[in-house]
Amino acid sequence: MATASSAFKSREDHRKQLELEEARKAGLAPAELDEDGKEINPHIPQYMSSAPWYLNAERPSLKHQRNWKTDANYTKDWYDRGKKVFQADKYRKGACTNCGAMTHDAKMCMDRPRKLGAKYTNKFIAPDEKIETFELDFDGKRDRWNGYDASTYSRVIDSYEMRDEARRKYQKEQQLKKLEEKNSSLQLPADKDSDEDEDEDKDGGEVDEAKVDESQQMDFAKVEKRVRTTGGGSTGTVRNLRIREDTAKYLLNLDVNSAYYDPKTRSMREDPLPDSNPNEKFYEGDNQNRTSGQAQEFKQLNIHAWEAFEKGQDIHLQAAPSQAELLHREFKVKKDKLKTQTKQDIMDTYGNAASGDMPPMELLLGQTEHQVEYDRAGRIIKGQEKAVPKSKYEEDVFINNHTTVWGSWWKDHQWGYKCCKQFIRNSYCTGQAGIDAAEASADLMRANIERKEAIEDKPQAKEEKNLATWGSEVADDLVLDKKKLKDALKKEDERLREEKDERKRKYNVTYSNEVTQEDMEAYRMKKVHFDDPMKEFLKS
């Protein structure tokens, strides 16, 4: 598998190579060896075992999978803390002015500031520190415990041992003190002695923390443990909810085909003894926890959140659990209120059989004194009117002082009220007075319409007036003389001909300043109107 990239192989060579690889995987052929003589696992995939072409590998090897960029200069050593190298006898130039060491200056000096430094006193010269430089590799830079001295942990062990020794010494002193008090109080009654004996037994139980008195174990064993102390937790008491004398749940039924026990999660969902008496069982499987306690409430809360989200409400149990729980509570309150209201409506409509109010005896016995007559076909002739079925809508609800419902009257393709014959639905009932007023108004309107039609049918007398031409402003009472108008038209024609041809104009022309109404009318009639569509015909 880990062969180098070779030249082209024929089909037969390729088939032989595949057969050899299958034999190596099956263990029938020896494994392939690399450059160092180590065996290569035949199950390594080809994309991992094949070396890239740019490495020019001639023999099978797995060196291309190793870290070939490692540097021999990398180390995992650490600094020698507090190591001193050389201690001079007198101050040297360039050394620390405070302590006299050459490895740092006065600004970086960690010694106590002297009143007069070593530069001026030339005494108590501090030794030089050991300065080291390391080139750490990738793991060395990220090693938390690099340079840790394991021998320093003995100090931690010693501190705990000293604390335990002091505790035992203190408890021993307390016991001796109580024994002295007991010996000095022998004259006390026997009942007080018995109480002190019990107190002594309890105190004696505190000497050894590993032992717990069986009388103090009620139903559960109280074990003092530290809870989540890593990273700054808190200490507390953890009760062991299982008594050690109880049988483990995986030992209740040793049948292989019984309930499955998961050792990783220590859970057994099904009941290991389903056929035994339920009153004698103390364990019925972990599934019983899903139907007890607040598991059902949490399940209902989940279902409500899903259904509300599907209906368009912005609710999410994991994102906003407080909001989801509040909405669920409001939903339950509204649901209970609606359920109570519906129940009350049904009881008001049909009665309550559980109440003390007894219905009439006629209804209980099914007998009445009401007489009903039937014909031979079984049809009711007299005595019982046909019951009108009621719809789901409200009936006989009268508003605005009406005595009938809207829609009880029909006229001229309009619905209205029969009591006042009004067509407006939200109108106020006026009764018979409104009907009379409406009829009087209708009669008056009808008379006005007939009078108007009679006036329109009568032809109007037309007066013949000599009207002027259109576009002129002439008094309405003007009456023109036809003979004078004819003479004026002739004069206007002669004037127009003279304007067209100036050769026909005479030398001695006399004009009169007096203009009559007939002359003005002739001028208007002969005048060419530029907006007139027939002006071209007038010129001809």
How far apart CA 86 and CA 399 sit, in angstroms, is 115
Which pLDDT score, from 0 to 100, does residue 204 have?
A: 47
Reply yes or no on whether the pLDDT at 221 is more than 60: no
Which pLDDT score, from 0 to 100, does residue 165 have?
A: 95
Which pLDDT score, from 0 to 100, does residue 409 have?
A: 87
How far apart CA 235 and CA 32 sit, in angstroms, is 60
Average pLDDT over residues 17-37: 89
The residue with tokens 């290991």 is 272
94: CB partners within 8 A, 6+ apart? 102
Q: Are strands 380-382 and 409-411 parallel, antiparallel or unpaired?
A: unpaired
How far apart CA 267 and CA 260 sit, in angstroms, is 9
Cα–Cα distances in Å, from 529 out to 58, 345, 497, 524, 535? 118, 90, 18, 9, 7
For the ranges 14-23, 269-278, 365-374, the lowest mean pLDDT is seen at 365-374
DSSP 84-131: B----SS--TTS-TTT--SSS-STT--SPPPSS-HHHH--SPPPPBPP
How far apart CA 417 and CA 407 sit, in angstroms, is 6
pLDDT band, very low/low/confident/very high, at 289 (cuts 50, 70, 90): confident
pLDDT band, very low/low/confident/very high, at 472 (cuts 50, 70, 90): low
For the ranges 96-100, 394-398, 433-437, the lowest mean pLDDT is seen at 394-398
pLDDT band, very low/low/confident/very high, at 343 (cuts 50, 70, 90): very high
- Over pLDDT 90: what percentage of the chain? 24
The residue with tokens 């939903």 is 331
pLDDT tens profile 117-139? 999 999 999 999 999 888 887 88
Per-residue b or e along 442-452, where b marks 16 or more CB atoms closer than 10 Å to that residue's CB: eeeeeeeeeee
How far apart CA 66 and CA 78 sit, in angstroms, is 27
Reply yes or no on whether the pLDDT at 417 is more than 80: yes
Closest CA to 394 of 380, 406, 386, 385: 406
Of residues 260 and 218, more confidence is placed in 260
530 burial class (0-12, 13-18, 19+ CB within 10 angstroms)? exposed
Indicate the pTM of the whole model: 0.26
How far apart CA 19 and CA 73 sit, in angstroms, is 46
Q: Which long-range contacts does 42-45 make (Cβ < 8 Å, 24+ apart)?
A: 42/1, 44/1, 44/2, 45/1
CB 350: neighbour CB atoms within 10 A?
8
DSSP 453-475: HHHHHSPPPPPP--PPPTT----
- Radius of gyration from C-alpha coordinates of the chain: 62
DSSP 222-276: EEEEEES-TTT-EEEEEEE-S-TTSPPGGGS---TTS---BTTTTB--S-S-TTS
Reply yes or no on whether the pLDDT at 302 is more than 80: yes
Which pLDDT score, from 0 to 100, does residue 110 have?
A: 92
8 A C-beta contact, residue 525 and residue 496: no
Of residues 157 and 496, more confidence is placed in 157
Q: Are strands 373-374 and 380-382 parallel, antiparallel or unpaired?
A: antiparallel
Reply yes or no on whether the pLDDT at 327 is more than 60: yes
Which pLDDT score, from 0 to 100, does residue 197 have?
A: 55
How far apart CA 242 and CA 250 sit, in angstroms, is 14
CA-based angle 384:387:393, to the nearest 5? Answer: 160
Q: What does pLDDT average to over the chain?
A: 80
Average pLDDT over residues 398-424: 88
